[in-house]
Structure 1
């Protein structure tokens, strides 16, 4: 009887593990597939459970299948915690913070204190006019004298603050929500660095169409930004409303970009939901990099906001043309 129960439970766990692996490559066509892809790191735990149960049931061929599935899932998830080293070139450290301000509800004084102590460049999303005024009153413009901001109601506001000079800036239109870009002159770096603050459409609880459209269009924007940057570093920071386990997000990396969290060995870098004492479940805020590398990454609490911020130290090469 024990063997039968173990076999049935093991088969169920094996099925869940197969779903966890397959969901990473399936198209996200609706809310059910979206939810399964987002949950896949948690569902992956079912694979080793299946292996143990099928061993208990003495189903050796099925056990080997479960072992293979466990190895495949480890191959997918473990590298996120190991990181990858960037090129060994002379570089300048640049601390980048991205934060969704929760429709302007983040505490201005707390956010300025956080950013002022930890960052050189700050990308924000969901910045209302009231939030922009509050940040200015709390000293944001003093700590970061260079800025390009577009405050707007609800979730539409966006902005970038920098300690270093912004030599060019502009909006990126054509998406559900506005984005802004800038060229930042970092002391000691030969070619100016391009920084984008982005906010892709949310796929939940509203219809998923706008999210699909944004993610389908964004590779073209990344390709064009990379072409325009030339040998300069590109940093794309913001709320992507997508996890690294969703195939449409990973297609963004095909343009030669890295994802700072996994590249730095920070794991899932879960940022949402950020309110309350419980840890977040999903890593939907990202810092993408091109022509630079991530040395470290971590989430930070943003009081009042419904996301945690993502803070990364990036290594920006002094002279990419020489590497």
Structure 2
């Protein structure tokens, strides 16, 4: 009886683990696959449980199958952690640029707390869901003093977007065609030969509203990334914001096929979970990202943004001094 029960439980655990592995490679066609992909890291713990259960049930072939699935999942997730040490430092001369992205939770983030956080930790700040009230509050709290260069597009509810920078912004423009506006800038970083392109982006939310707008945004976004990379030439590109997608979702990883890296992955920072981020409870999923091209992230971590429903994501990006020399 114990062997039968262990076998049945093992089969259930194996099915859960397999679902967590397979869903990473499926298109996101609706809310069921979306939720399953978001939950994938948590489903993986069922794989070693299946090994133990099949072992208890003395089902040796099934134990080997479960062990193989466990190894496959370790192959997927372990490289995202500093298990074997930190990522190797680049030998290319570079300038470290600290980038903070923060979703302000429809303008509810505490302005003074965000200014203090950004002032202590960042050189460039990308914000999303910035209302006019939030923009006014940040300016009143001293954001424009700490970061004298800015491009902001405040808007009601979730549509506002902005970038603040310690370094001069020499060009900027809106990126339209998405559910919410995005902005792109060229920032002149001292010591870097080619100006760095920085985007603040916000893709449509796929839940609880219909998923169509999100699918449209994330399907179109690779073309935007390719065009931004082309116009940036040898310059670094940093794309920061709320992608409303986790690394486990295949459409998100397809963005990286355009030549970009994910800061959290490159810095071996784990799952960089950022949502929901209100209060002191640990977030469940990582939907805020910093992507890099012609540059790489050496560190990444999430940070509490008081009042917001996301945690911020802070990364140190190594921007090569002269890409044309490589």
TM score, norm. by length of structure 2: 0.98
Contact 1:86 1:293 survives alignment (8 Å)? no
CA RMSD of aligned residues (A): 0.8
Find the counterpart in structure 1 of residue 126 from structure 2. 123
Residues 1:249 and 2:261 are matched in the alignment: no
In 1, Cα distance between equivalents of 2:186 and 2:30: 37
- Offset of 1:245 from its aligned partner? 0.2
Residues 1:282 and 2:292 are matched in the alignment: no
Find the counterpart in structure 2 of residue 205 from structure 1. 208
Contact 2:279 2:306 survives alignment (8 Å)? no
- Offset of 1:322 from its aligned partner? 1.4
Matches within 5 A, 1:302-321: 302-321=305-324
In 2, Cα distance between equivalents of 1:57 and 1:92: 57
Matches within 5 A, 1:61-140: 61-82=61-82, 84-85=87-88, 87-140=90-143
Tell me whether 81-90 or 63-72 shows the greater mean CA deviation.
Answer: 81-90
Match of 2:97, SS state, is: strand
In 1, Cα distance between equivalents of 2:104 and 2:65: 45
- Offset of 1:246 from its aligned partner? 0.3
Tell me whether 84-93 or 195-204 shows the greater mean CA deviation.
Answer: 84-93
Matches within 5 A, 1:140-151: 140-151=143-154
Matches within 5 A, 1:294-309: 294-309=297-312
Find the counterpart in structure 1 of residue 3 from structure 2. 3
Residues 1:152 and 2:155 are matched in the alignment: yes
- Offset of 1:48 from its aligned partner? 0.6
Match of 1:23, SS state, is: helix
- Offset of 1:276 from its aligned partner? 2.2
Q: Deviation digits for residues 248-289 of structure 1, max 9, x if unmatched?
A: 000000000000011101100000000122100010000000
- Offset of 1:86 from its aligned partner? 5.7
Contact 1:13 1:47 survives alignment (8 Å)? yes
Find the counterpart in structure 1 of residue 271 from structure 2. 268
Q: 2:174 pairs with 167, 171, 174, which one?
A: 171
The runs of at least 4 aligned residues of structure 1 exceeding 4 Å deviation read none
Q: Deviation digits for residues 225-266 of structure 1, max 9, x if unmatched?
A: 000000000000000000000000000000000000111011
Find the counterpart in structure 2 of residue 230 from structure 1. 233
Match of 1:133, SS state, is: helix
In 1, Cα distance between equivalents of 2:130 and 2:142: 16
Contact 1:300 1:310 survives alignment (8 Å)? yes
Match of 1:223, SS state, is: helix
Q: Deviation digits for residues 39-85 of structure 1, max 9, x if unmatched?
A: 00000000010011101111111111001000000111111113643
Q: Deviation digits for residues 190-249 of structure 1, max 9, x if unmatched?
A: 000000000000000000000000000000000000000000000000000000000000
Match of 2:217, SS state, is: helix
- Offset of 1:106 from its aligned partner? 0.3
- Paired residues in the alignment total 323
Find the counterpart in structure 2 of residue 219 from structure 1. 222
- Name structure 2 gaps, 5 residues minimum: none
Contact 1:86 1:294 survives alignment (8 Å)? no
Find the counterpart in structure 2 of residue 55 from structure 1. 55
- Offset of 1:310 from its aligned partner? 0.2
